[in-house]
Structure 1
Amino acid sequence: MVRSSLQVIGCLLPLAIASRLSSNQPGLCQQADSLFPGKVSYEGSLAYSSSQSAYYTGEERNLDPGCVFTPTSTADVSDFVKLVASGDISTPKFAFRCGGHSFFAGAANIDQGVTIDLRSLDSFELSEDQKTASVGGGSIWSDTIYTTLEAYNLTVPGGRIPGVGVGGFTTGGGLNYLGRKIGFSCDNVYGYEVVLASGEVVYASATSYRDLWLALKGGTNNFGIVTRFDLATHSQGLLMGGALVFNVTQEVLEEHATAFSNYMNPRNFDWLAEMEVDLVYDAGSWTLSDALYYLEPELRPAAYKEFFDISGQIEDTLIIANMTTVVTNSGVLVPTTVSRATQMNYSFKNGKADVYTKLFTTFKAAAEKLSSVEGLVLDFLMQPVPVTNGTNSLGLVPNMTDHVLVDIGAAYDNEADDDIVQAAVENIFNLHVDIVKNAGLYIDWTYLNYAGSNQDPIGSYGDLANLRKVSKKYDPHGLFQTAVPGAFKLF
């Protein structure tokens, strides 16, 4: 079954503007326009502005690509890469994007180069035995993937809020609601259809191009452009999802510290229970929310009893619903777009309650010093690291149930506050890392999809030499290291 196309047809740009853009990106936009008539759009067109406005952060939206290329097939992507590879790769620059949820400028967009908007590659097909869902590399999880699979009581491990794309999410790892049961989303990829630096299209799986298959499981955009993901499906009916929201007091923080420490204790492990704790400072006020999910239709499962018993609760949105509804409702907790944003993340092994109390109180004290930053929303997001099977390039120990991931994130209004907010996030990050290091709990691992531009997630995997070897094998001239400057590079 094939999903309806999301293709947006580009409009023609007046000749004078096209000539100006041509001088900024010598030849590549115009060559692509000639090769792919109707699929290259320029500033001033509906297709161009639609692509630009769909990025999550202002940092990405404010970039100014010379043109946007909207391929509608794997052959289009292959022919474009061949076009780039045919010349001097130090000159033509390009980026490729799907959902565009990365925070920092240049992760999936580019100034004056070509941005490839993959969202028209949104095909969907369920295998005859219903064990494999084949999805286009530009698909959005929340569009129809979940709803289509629900008719078969199936799901795939994908994005947890509306608008997240399959491509960057999955090649960066992929946190998902089934993470305690089946690991990262990338752990569940049977195969990738991928366009290499030569323009050749190959299928990487456990039995063909295995080294490339493993490298793409966490190695992001360094090896090629994935135009199709073949994903393992999993049985899934109705589930529980929603949030408990609390006023913030010292007592509430301490009760959460105890509850989360116990939840993460391997003795209490429940693979059906996935959750996030989010302490938020928003315009001078505080809230704490527990986003709770359970893969069975139980409204108050025993795994969360300690959270249900915490005092100070002001809202309860927990419901029994299908995956589509749970994901849609989760989007209410997150703004659809932000003006400015930054984040950093770290990981550690579960500890005693006092460690979490120190993390909470340190964050709270630091955040309250930023009251002058207009529109500031600062959050401390804490959740389990998925229980990986180790069949990836992430470098985590398989089958560990007590590893915690913390994301320190900030959204705010004005570019003029970039330095002060970045410094504050880095300060909180450093204070937190000191706390978990002093407790002997720190894990030197950074989650790529939550990483700040100043972090080195791929370097934290511990397998950089092998990933570089794979890159050299399939991209000997370094096209994806040089011509695609965004995100996290290997060299």
Structure 2
Amino acid sequence: MSVSVTTMYRLLRSVLVLAASAAALRLPSHAQTRHNPNTCELLNTNMPGRVIFPTDPAYSAAQSSYYAGQARNMHPGCIFMPRNTEDVSQFIKTVRVRTGWDAKFAVRGGGHTLWRGAANIDDGITVDMRLINGTTLNADKSIASLGAGGRFGAVYHALKPHNLTVLGGRVPSIGVGGFLTSGGMTFLSRKEGFACDHVISYEIVLASGDVVNVTKTSHPDLWLALKGGIGNYGIVTRFDVATHPDPGMWYDLVQYNHTDAVLEAQARAFSSFMTPGNNFDPDAMMGIFYDYAGGQFFVRDALWHTGAVANPPVYNNFTSIPNMGSNGQVLPVADVVDQFGANIPPSTPRAFQLDWSFINPPAEIYMEIFQLFKNGVPALADVPGFFVEFLTQPQSVIQPGTESLFGLENNRTDYAMMLMTAAYANPADDQRVRDGITEIVRSMRGLLRRNRYLIDFVYANYADQTQGVYQSWGADNRAKLQAASIKYDPDRIFQTRASGGLKVF
């Protein structure tokens, strides 16, 4: 079949028009080859050596170092590891003007918080603070400056040659930053209150990228808000904390057979220990560990006394209960933490925990609570790898004149706290374990509430994200936390961009 010249001309013209139109729609040649870097790549260009990408061997090492599987199983687009405060400032200045998934971030210190997203993130950037970890003393050794990425095991050992200590975590792997911005229960809690009450100043990078030194006089509202405000106001890079003498601490871990008689004796001993006027000893801190694993129950008492007293009589009601023996001794705080920490697994596949506080009740109430645990936990026994630790301990005694947003009365010695932590093997059991533990705790809290012993306060360091921590501190205190957030982070960077921590809004 033949085609006329006119027809061929029309076809050729159509092709040329289409080609010209396509060329007009295409970007210039230099734009076709230019790559628009994401935030991770931009950080790597501006601060080389600070960014770890998923293809780097260090990425897997960093991810595997989290305590709980919920955090280990997240996948940030990159990990940013600042070496100093200026690096953190440059990070904030970079991400605050970016938008999209790649400008979201989480801040990681010790990486010990259990719930997903507390200190890690999917797709965004995890700011791993662990290289900012120094411990230094001022001239008269009254103040220790702690890098926010440090861990308390290292802090205690740095202070040990000076016969000094600070109020910190009771396990070596507990991170400085998360612990001190969440409150902090310590060996000295009955004598000195919460660890955050002994922070003299904070070095913090605000949402603007500005570096500010926060003290009670320079920024009183922010200083108060940081005593429990976690990551709502910026990234703290240094804590200046008061030091305390370390004459040695009595530490004993006493083990008992699991019987109703032992539980009843523990209930009587703890209720008496917590009763105001019963020879209160501010150096005495302890905890009853009622655990379940492998189909069996275990009962242990951890006894700490910061007065360097061997076999302190304040614990006689506990040590006189028939037991399986102990090996108490007076040691420096650093060595006590090492020994006690050896009883804590370095990591867990999955975990879930809840805490609650209350006014010390009679022994009968404690025994009812122990029975609720004993009767409720076996329903989860067939969950692979299932283990539960149920801890009963005194609450911190906030010292007279101390400013706090926790909603607790100062100088009360009869506040107690319970914590239930479940560990297990598989993500498939997340909801079942959460529901089972929540139901047991609900029954315990209900018992305390009906008898008017339960209080609202939820301790942030141990809390799950569902527990309404800031609501539990009272409306007025929450309003102060929110006002500080509006003032120091008006663009809500740490409310909307930072995934981790508990939010004041």
TM bucket, shorter chain: over 0.9
Identity %: 41
Residue deviations 1:126-164 (CA, integer Å, cap 9, x gap): 011111001111111101x21222222211011101111
User: Aligned to 2:436, which of 424, 431, 449?
Assistant: 424
Preserved CA contact (<8 Å) 2:39 2:102: no
**Does 368-377 or 182-191 show the bigger shift?**
368-377
Aligned-pair CA distance for 1:267:
1.2
Equivalent residue, structure 1, for 2:453: 441
Letter in 2 for 1:449: N
Letter in 1 for 2:457: W
In the alignment, is residue 483 of structure 1 matched against residue 497 of structure 2? yes
Preserved CA contact (<8 Å) 2:144 2:240: yes
Preserved CA contact (<8 Å) 2:44 2:51: yes
Preserved CA contact (<8 Å) 2:68 2:347: yes
Residue deviations 1:301-349 (CA, integer Å, cap 9, x gap): 11100001112x1241322111111001111221110000001111100
User: Aligned to 1:63, which of 45, 60, 74?
Assistant: 74
Equivalent residue, structure 1, for 2:14: none
Distance 1:134 1:395 in 2: 28
Preserved CA contact (<8 Å) 1:158 1:176: yes
Give the 3-state SS of the residue equivalent to 2:465 in structure 1: coil
Preserved CA contact (<8 Å) 1:84 1:92: yes
| Aligned positions of 1:403-418 closer than 5 A | 403-418=415-430
Equivalent residue, structure 2, for 1:391: 403
Equivalent residue, structure 1, for 2:488: 474
Equivalent residue, structure 1, for 2:472: 460
Distance 1:429 1:270 in 2: 30
Residue deviations 1:279-320 (CA, integer Å, cap 9, x gap): 000110111111100012222111100001112x12413221
Equivalent residue, structure 1, for 2:208: 198
Preserved CA contact (<8 Å) 2:109 2:149: yes
Equivalent residue, structure 2, for 1:15: none
Letter in 2 for 1:411: A
In the alignment, is residue 179 of structure 1 matched against residue 189 of structure 2? yes
| Aligned positions of 1:42-81 closer than 5 A | 42-81=53-92
Which protein has the larger Cα radius of gyration, Structure 1 or Structure 2? 2
Preserved CA contact (<8 Å) 2:106 2:498: yes
Residue deviations 1:423-446 (CA, integer Å, cap 9, x gap): 111101110011111221110010
Aligned-pair CA distance for 1:109:
0.4
Residue deviations 1:36-82 (CA, integer Å, cap 9, x gap): 10110011323212211110000000000000000001000000000
Aligned-pair CA distance for 1:91:
6.1
Equivalent residue, structure 2, for 1:125: 136
Letter in 2 for 1:97: R
Aligned-pair CA distance for 1:92:
1.5
**Does 284-293 or 313-322 show the bigger shift?**
313-322
Residue deviations 1:410-463 (CA, integer Å, cap 9, x gap): 001111111111011110111001111122111001011111122111111111
Distance 1:111 1:242 in 2: 42
Equivalent residue, structure 1, for 2:297: 286
In the alignment, is residue 209 of structure 1 matched against residue 209 of structure 2? no
Distance 1:47 1:191 in 2: 33
Letter in 1 for 2:461: N
Preserved CA contact (<8 Å) 2:107 2:128: yes
Q: TM-score, normalised by structure 2?
A: 0.90
Equivalent residue, structure 2, for 1:325: 335
Aligned-pair CA distance for 1:90:
7.4
Give the 3-state SS of the residue equivalent to 1:292 in structure 2: strand
Give the 3-state SS of the residue equivalent to 1:244 in structure 2: strand
In the alignment, is residue 241 of structure 1 matched against residue 241 of structure 2? no
Distance 2:310 2:141 in 1: 29
Give the 3-state SS of the residue equivalent to 1:217 in structure 2: coil
Residue deviations 1:223-276 (CA, integer Å, cap 9, x gap): 110000000011121111131011110000000000000011111211010001
Letter in 2 for 1:152: H
User: Aligned to 2:374, which of 342, 364, 375?
Assistant: 364
Preserved CA contact (<8 Å) 2:143 2:242: yes
Residue deviations 1:341-379 (CA, integer Å, cap 9, x gap): 001111100011001000101011001121111111112
Q: Which runs of 5+ in 1 are unaligned?
A: 1-22
User: Aligned to 1:84, which of 83, 95, 115?
Assistant: 95
Preserved CA contact (<8 Å) 1:91 1:483: no
Equivalent residue, structure 2, for 1:298: 309
Letter in 2 for 1:340: R
Give the 3-state SS of the residue equivalent to 2:208 in structure 1: coil
Distance 2:371 2:287 in 1: 18
Preserved CA contact (<8 Å) 1:243 1:292: yes
Aligned-pair CA distance for 1:89:
7.1
Preserved CA contact (<8 Å) 2:93 2:209: yes
User: Aligned to 1:354, which of 364, 367, 373?
Assistant: 364
Preserved CA contact (<8 Å) 2:181 2:230: yes
Distance 1:469 1:476 in 2: 10
Q: TM-score, normalised by structure 1?
A: 0.93
Distance 2:499 2:66 in 1: 18
Letter in 2 for 1:68: I
**Does 147-156 or 98-107 show the bigger shift?**
147-156
User: Aligned to 2:326, which of 274, 294, 316?
Assistant: 316
Equivalent residue, structure 2, for 1:170: 180
Letter in 2 for 1:428: I
Give the 3-state SS of the residue equivalent to 2:241 in structure 1: strand
What is the number of equivalent residue pairs in this alignment?
Answer: 466
Give the 3-state SS of the residue equivalent to 1:405 in structure 2: strand
Preserved CA contact (<8 Å) 1:98 1:165: yes
Distance 1:406 1:52 in 2: 30
Give the 3-state SS of the residue equivalent to 1:116 in structure 2: strand
In the alignment, is residue 344 of structure 1 matched against residue 354 of structure 2? yes
**Does 435-444 or 184-193 show the bigger shift?**
435-444
In the alignment, is residue 160 of structure 1 matched against residue 170 of structure 2? yes
Preserved CA contact (<8 Å) 1:275 1:291: yes
Preserved CA contact (<8 Å) 2:286 2:301: yes
Equivalent residue, structure 2, for 1:379: 389
Pick closer, same or farther for the CA change 1:91–1:116 going to 2, 3 Å.
Answer: closer
Residue deviations 1:87-126 (CA, integer Å, cap 9, x gap): 3377611001110000011000000110011010012210
| Aligned positions of 1:249-260 closer than 5 A | 249-260=259-270
In the alignment, is residue 116 of structure 1 matched against residue 127 of structure 2? yes
Preserved CA contact (<8 Å) 2:204 2:211: yes
Letter in 2 for 1:464: R
Distance 1:334 1:377 in 2: 12
Give the 3-state SS of the residue equivalent to 1:122 in structure 2: coil
Preserved CA contact (<8 Å) 2:105 2:497: yes
Aligned-pair CA distance for 1:184:
0.8
